[in-house]
Structure 1
């Protein structure tokens, strides 16, 4: 008889609810930022290189933040910075003040609700 040995299983990585919710919010926000950059470009509110380049840079920052949220706590601070940049983009197109404020509110809710869920999970 031969026994097959199974490779040792790695311990399951505990997924943070706060990080998961933050990633979802930033994922949806990626779509909005891409469309906002096109809107700013189309309205001529900023030069084309700034509207499209700035939108692309913010999207890249968001993807970078999404990738780091499961590993590093400082990525949450980067997420808050993304929210501030989006609100400040309202200086280019006024409606973005509202859109930025809505997403900042969703981000704040995700961060507080996620932290609460994580603390409840630790108590069990």
Structure 2
């Protein structure tokens, strides 16, 4: 047994939020490749910035997903949702991605918080995973 203290269990918001952001990172990389392939990068910028932009946002999504227990992570997740929605001005189809994942992020944060509150008020059921 290690000398580290056990971390508190994650809330539903934290669990769902990390899943949404991690999944979204994959789609954002593909969107960056799409921007590159369609040569939709604004005039004056090299086309490879489509790939770089997608990778930067994807890495940011993964960082926020990994730091989901931090107080700033939820706000950072909303900010990233806005950044992805703004990419819809470059390729309008990205707006569909922003709406789908933005809706999932909204459910994870707003609906998950409601479920967490209701679960805390009642008698919580003890759950165990195979790793415990």
Same fold (TM over 0.5): yes
TM-score, normalising length: structure 1? 0.86
Structure 2 unaligned regions, length at least 5: 124-132
How many residues get paired? 118
Report the aligned-residue RMSD: 1.9
- Report deviation, 1:33: 0.3
TM-score, normalising length: structure 2? 0.81
Which structure: larger Rg?
Answer: 1
Counterpart contact for 2:13–2:113, Cα < 8 Å: yes
Aligned equivalent of 1:3: none
SS of 2:62 mapped into structure 1: helix
Counterpart contact for 2:13–2:109, Cα < 8 Å: yes
SS of 2:97 mapped into structure 1: helix
- Where does structure 1 differ by over 6 angstroms across 4 or more consecutive aligned residues? 6-9
Cα distance change on mapping 1:7 and 1:50 into 2, 3 Å: closer
Pairing partner for 1:25 from 20, 31, 46: 20
Structure 1 unaligned regions, length at least 5: 1-5
